[in-house]
Structure 1
Amino acid sequence: MKRISLALDDKLYREIENAMSMVGETNRSRFIASIVAEKISEIVQRPMASIIVYVYDHEVGEVAKNVTEVQHEFRDVIRASTHIHLDDRNCLEVVHALGDSDRIRELVTRISRIGRGLKHLRVVNIPQLAEG
């Protein structure tokens, strides 16, 4: 492990402290390292695992049909998905993806472009750990 020094403006420092408090983290180094690792996993091309969570209103346009079509186009990286009904109109889906980071980013982009009816989209990327 390497120890580094980091200079932050006061506002960003306060935002980090507030965010740590909100998630119950007490170790600043671990908190910042996890944010950096998450950002790197978004830009570096390599195998990764992702959880893609989105909520949509199935009554709006053809959003349900479009979601299904996108999932079928990305069968090569989608390993599983779950679908639950939040209420009479809104559905929540969790997609588990594993594969090339560029392909998974393409999947997320396609989901985000579904447009009307898509209410929330969150992604967690985890770089695949090397064995050993």
Structure 2
Amino acid sequence: MSKNNLIRFGISMNEDLLENFDDLIVKKGYSNRSEAIRDLIRNRLVEKEWKDNEKEVAGTITLVYDHHVRGLSGELNELQHDYHDLFLSTMHVHLDHNNCLEVLVVKGKARETREVAEKLIGHKGVKHGKLTITSTGKDLT
């Protein structure tokens, strides 16, 4: 089957669920149900990629921390150097006198990417952190 062929299929669901889905479609700006369903499927496929430890994935690690915590900036930087091959780009923003925001763009094997994210987010002095997953797009259509 060619990747360009569109296949039509039917879905049965409860009327209330469909109404809620239609409300979501409008709020999110989808042009139709099909595109919304395709996005839901793609999201599940990306989640599946991240469960395969050897799969190449992409994402961002977002950190908020107090830069006055002694040695924290250097330790976070050292961790990034330990995994230097995973980091594509970083952005550092001064939120106020005390707090910094860093957004780190990563690409690499899922296991290593999760590992470095957990180490950075779990580091003493980091107030909040989040790993956001996505795909390299190679296997998505």
TM-score by length of 1: 0.70
Identity %: 25
* 5+ long unaligned stretches in structure 2: 1-5
Q: Which has the larger radius of gyration?
A: 2
Correspondent of 2:105 among 89, 96, 107: 96
Corresponding position: 1:30 with 2:30: no
Report the CA distance shift for 1:11/1:125 in structure 2 as closer, same or farther (over 3 A). Answer: same
Following TM superposition, the consecutive aligned residue runs of length 4 or more in structure 1 with deviations greater than 6 angstroms are none
- In 1, Cα distance between the equivalents of 2:76 and 2:68? 13
**Does the CA contact (< 8 Å) of 2:59 and 2:132 recur in 1?**
yes
Correspondent of 2:65 among 45, 48, 56: 56
**Does the CA contact (< 8 Å) of 1:57 and 1:117 recur in 2?**
yes
- In 2, Cα distance between the equivalents of 1:8 and 1:66? 51
Aligned residue pairs total 129
Report the CA distance shift for 1:73/1:3 in structure 2 as closer, same or farther (over 3 A). Answer: farther
* 5+ long unaligned stretches in structure 1: none
- In 2, Cα distance between the equivalents of 1:97 and 1:111? 13
Report the CA distance shift for 1:33/1:84 in structure 2 as closer, same or farther (over 3 A). Answer: same
- In 2, Cα distance between the equivalents of 1:73 and 1:13? 49
Residue 46 of structure 2 aligns with which residue?
41
